[in-house]
Amino acid sequence: MKVCIIAVGSELLLGQIVNTNAQYISRVLNEAGHHVLEHIVVGDNPERLARVTERALAQYDAVIYTGGLGPTKDDLTKQTVAQILGKELVMDEAALNYIESYFAAQDRIMTPNNKQQALVIEGSHVLANRVGMAPGMYVVHEETHVVMLPGPPSEMRPMVDNELMPYFMQSDQTIFSEVLRFCGIGESQVETELLDLIEAQTNPTIAPLAGKHEVTIRLTASGKDTATCQTLIAPIKAEILSRVGHYYYGSDNITPEQAVMNAQHASFAVYDAVTDGLLNARLKQADRHQTLKGYMLHHDSFLQADLSVEDNLRIAAMFVQSLYETQQAVSLLAMDRTVYVGFLNDDHFEMTTFKMATERNLMRDRSQNYVLIEWLDWLKRQQVSK
């Protein structure tokens, strides 16, 4: 289905809150094979809401509203939509009982305007709100699917997952996605490498997305069951990794540091002259087996000016390896827009480099994922050489 999401609330237009609801709904619907084509934000104004509603109903297969279902005067979403659909608002007794019991349990007086939250459009399927008070609604009007959801994300998200999505899933179809995660490569390079695959995509679909210092590729397939979807995804995934697999660190919810620590079986220590300890914090959080034995921050007095960068890098790695009595060590130095990474396994040393911005904060932040992807590649090569 072609979908439009309308977020209602002047606080969105004033910049007081961010429209994370549209982001969440878009992701869930796209994973289910639907196409969100437009986001609209409108203030608490019934005339403007009516205008965008009439246009959206004429253009889309589904129109989803968030916000404006509460008890106050500016909560006018369902009143406005009901008028356009030519339907009445009726009291949902289950929702009213829930609201009344909530106030009773809190030993609070329920003001009359709270009853407004239990009003629903006649003939609609009521979407239970198991977190807050205002229920959602799902109604089909002249073949257009119309949905109203509460504005608070803590109420909207479980309602989408548990109450709404059964109406948006085809009973004979399964949607399955795998998210491939890459770092050390930009979105434009990924698209260039995969452009022919992206242009020829059918089932599965291929959706690159740039994140903070990383790129993801969401592969989404539809089929009779999950196994069928995974079979459809497998050859496309293999082809993608044959082209940009060097930068791949895992799928779905894994982080670069988790990928490294999952592959890092030997004890190790780190000498860091690049990230100011930020890399250490990430590694420690992912270090389930306590293989990270020590972490030393850089001091200029440690460098020997008469030695090459590679020699200084080797000495730094050997120093922390000896100090913390580890099998392996990683050392980081930066000079002239270049980050140098040293890997030491017992007495075997390797060095790799990459270019990075000279601005200190950018180098400190962006270089972390570049280091981690090179580290993961080194660990893979260590396994192959065994």
CATH number at residue 292: 3.90.950.20
Contact 183, 369 (CB under 8 A): yes
- Whichever domain contains 201, its CATH number is 3.30.70.2860
Q: Which uninterrupted H or E stretch holds 237?
A: helix 226-244
293 φ/ψ angles, rounded to the nearest 5 degrees: -100, -20
**pLDDT tens-digit profile of 208-228?**
888 777 899 989 888 888 899
Do 72 and 101 lie in a common domain? yes
pLDDT of 253: 87
Same domain, 247 and 297: no
Please identify, among 218, 253, 288, the residue that sits at the C-terminal boundary of a domain.
Answer: 253
Residues 6+ apart with CB under 8 A from 219: 177, 178, 179, 180, 204, 205, 206, 207, 233, 236, 237
Together in a domain, 265 and 244: no
Q: Mark whether 344 and 374 lie in a shared domain.
A: yes
pLDDT at position 361, please?
67
289 and 222 inside one domain: no
- pLDDT computed for residue 263 by the predictor: 95
End-to-end CA distance of the chain: 52
**309/201 same-domain check:** no
* Whether 211 contacts 148, CB under 8 Å: no
Residues 279 and 147 in one domain: no
The answer to whether residues 150 and 195 belong to one domain is: no
Task: Please say whether the beta carbons of 233 and 221 come within 8 A.
Answer: yes
Within 8 A by CB and 6+ apart from 242, the residues are none
Single residue among 144, 168, 192 that ends a domain in this structure: 168
Tell me which residues of the chain have a pLDDT lower than 50: none
Q: Point out the domain boundary residue: 138, 168, 198.
A: 168
Domain that holds residue 352: 257-385
Residue pLDDT, tens place only, 252-301 = 889 999 999 999 999 999 999 999 999 999 999 999 999 999 999 998 87
Same domain, 131 and 11: yes
Pair (20, 152) in one structural domain: yes
Of 203, 206, 205, 224, the C-alpha closest to 215 is 206
Number of domains in the chain: 3
The CA dihedral of 356, 362, 368, 373, to the nearest 10 degrees, is: -40
CB-based contacts of 44: which residues, under 8 Å, 6+ apart?
Answer: 8, 9, 10, 68, 74, 75, 76
Cα-trace Rg, the chain: 27
Closest C-alpha among 334, 270, 29 to residue 21 = 29
Q: Domain check: are 22 and 79 in the same one?
A: yes
Strand-pair category, 215-223 with 2-8:
unpaired
CATH code for position 39 = 3.40.980.10
Region of 343 please: left (phi>0), alpha (psi -120 to 50) or beta.
beta
User: Are 156 and 242 in the same domain?
Assistant: no
